Chains A and B, each alone.
Chain A
C-alpha cells in the first residue's frame, strides 16, 4: 500500500462513519431507537447498574428498575414517621401482599405501625436479590428487611447462561457493547420486541432450560449453594452493619414435586448405571398408569403456576370445568393453616393439566392402585429399593420409591423422609429443600442479630408428617394465595415479636444488633 492508498482508506472510513452517523441522526429525527440506560440490558446482574433510581413523584422518592413486563415498578416515597419494612426475594416474595402485612401489623398494634414495601422480583435468585438489597440499604433507609429467597438459584444461573450465550460470549462482547449505545440497535430491538411476545418463553420451550444442568454432579450443585450461603450471609451482614434489623426466612417448597435433575457421579460404573435403570424401568411399569402425571419427564408436563390462569394464552381447555369443591379428599391442615383456603380460586381459568394433576394427586393420596395389583406394586417397591442399593443418592428414584411406599401403605414418616432426601439430593432444584433451609438456619444462628422466621417448619407442623404438597403449592415452589397470606402473617409476627416497640416511635436504629 502506498501513502495514497492509506489516505484513500482513511477517506473511505470517514465516509463510512458519516453514513452511520447519518443513519443515527435520521432515526433520532424520526424519534426511533431511543437508547435506554444500562439497566435495560443487565437484567439485574450488573453491580454497577442502578436498580433504584430517584423518582419525581412524590418528590424525594425512589423507583425500582426491575423492568418486569407485566408488573409495575415499585415506587418508594420519602420516609415518614413510620418505621419501614422491605421484603426481598423472587416470585414468591413478589406475590406477598405487603399492604396486607401493614394491615396485620396495624391490627395487632391498634394503629398503623409500619409501612412495608415489596422489592421481590420474579426469577431473581440470591445473586440479583443481593444487588437490589445493597442498593436499597443505601437509599431507602429501611428499619427492618425480610429475606425470603432460595428457590431460584438454578433459575438464575440458567438464565445467566442464556445471557452469556446471547450477549457476552466470545467475539460478540465488544460489538454488542458498542451497538447497544446506538439508535439503530435499539430501533431493531424495539421493532422485534413489540408486544413483548418474543421475550417470554412458553413452557413448551423450557425442556431446553432444564437440559442446561443435565450433566451436573452433586459436588457441582454444592458449589451453587455455597454461593447462595455467601450471598445470604453478606446481605445479613450488610444490613446489620447499617443498624437495620433482619428477618431471615426459611422457604416453603413442594415435597410432592418430582426432582429436576438426577445424575450419577462422573466416575460411576456404566454397567451399574444400566442395571440401576433397568430395575427402575421394570418397577415403573408395575405402578398405576395415572402416576405418570406425577412423574413428568418433560418440563412441559410439569404443573406450573401459570397453568392456573389460561386468560392470555392459547392453552388446552378442560373438557369439563370443575370447581375446586368438586375435589374431595385433600389432606386437612391444622394450626394457622386450618383457616386458610388451600387451593387456588377461579377454577374456570385452570388449564386441563391442573385437573389431570389434581386427579392423580387425590388418587395417589387414597392409595388407588388403578390397573395394578398390590403384588405388582410391592414388587415395584422392592425393585426400586434394589436399585437404590446400587446408588442410594438418586433423587428421582428416591421420589418414585416414596410414592410407591405410600401406595402400599408404608408409614407416612418413612415416605416423608424419602421425599425430603429426594429434594435434598436434586442436582438442579428449582425449588427449596431442607438443604437450603439448613443454610438459612445456620446463617441465622451464626449471625448475631438476625431473626430467623422458620416459615417452612411452621407449615410442616400444620400438615400430616410435615409433607407440604399440592394443597398449598401451585407448582414446585409457588404458594397459592392462601399460603402466601399465611406467610405474610408469619413475617408480621416475627417483626412484632422482636421489634414491637419500633412502632411506638422509639429510636429506630437502636437495638438492631441485639435482636431485642
Chain B
C-alpha cells in the first residue's frame, strides 16, 4: 500500500488525468445526449 501511495505521489499525472478527464467526458456526453433528447423527431406531427 505504501509503495502504491509512493508511486501515486511521484507520478501525479497517472491519477490526475483520469480524475479530470472522466468527469469532463461524461459531462460532455451528458450535455450532448440531453440536447439530442430535446431535439424533436419532427417539428410538425399531425395525427388526424
Using a CB–CB cutoff of 8 Å, the interface residues on chain A facing chain B are 4-5, 8-9, 11-13, 15-16, 19-20, 23, 41, 43, 67-71, 91, 95, 122-123, 155, 158-159, 162-163, 166-167, 172, 175-176, 179-180, 182, 184-186, 188-189, 191-193, 198-201, 206, 209, 304-306, 308-309, 344, 430, 474, 478, 480-481
Contacts and interface: CB of A to CB of B under 8 A. Distances in A.
A19 B41 CA distance: 32
Contacts of A163: 39
B1 interface: no
List of 9 A-B pairs having minimum Cβ-Cβ separation, nearest first: A12-B17, A188-B33, A8-B13, A192-B37, A123-B42, A166-B39, A305-B46, A16-B18, A16-B21
Contacts of A41: 36
Given A200-B41, A201-B40, A430-B44, 13 more contacts: A5-B13, A8-B12, A11-B11, A15-B14, A70-B45, A155-B44, A162-B43, A175-B32, A179-B29, A182-B29, A188-B34, A188-B37, A189-B36
Contacts of A201: 40, 43
B33 A189 contact: yes
Given A16-B17, A16-B22, A306-B47, A192 B34 contact: yes
A178 B46 CA distance: 33
22 contacts: A11-B14, A12-B14, A12-B15, A19-B22, A20-B25, A43-B42, A67-B41, A68-B45, A69-B41, A71-B47, A91-B45, A159-B43, A179-B28, A179-B32, A179-B33, A184-B29, A188-B30, A192-B34, A199-B38, A201-B40, A304-B46, A306-B47
Nearest to A182: B29
A185 B48 contact: no
Contact of B18 (A15, A43, A304): A15
A193 B32 contact: no
Given A70-B47, A198-B37, A200-B45, A176 B18 contact: no
A253 to B, nearest CB: 15
B37 to A, nearest CB: 4
Contacts of B13: 5, 8-9, 11-12
Nearest to B13: A8
B3 interface: no
A155 B17 CA distance: 46
B22 A344 contact: no
Interface residues of B, number: 32
Contact of B36 (A15, A70, A167, A200): A167
Contact of B48 (A162, A172, A474): A474
B30 to A, nearest CB: 6
A159 B42 contact: yes
Given A9-B17, A15-B18, A185 B33 contact: yes
B4 interface: no
B25 to A, nearest CB: 7
A155 B42 CA distance: 9
B22 A20 contact: yes
A189 B37 contact: yes
Nearest to A193: B37
A344 B26 contact: no
A489 B34 CA distance: 45
A127 to B, nearest CB: 14
A184 B23 CA distance: 13
A150 to B, nearest CB: 15
Contact of A344 (B21, B29, B32, B48): B48
B48 to A, nearest CB: 5
Nearest to B12: A8
A134 B24 CA distance: 42
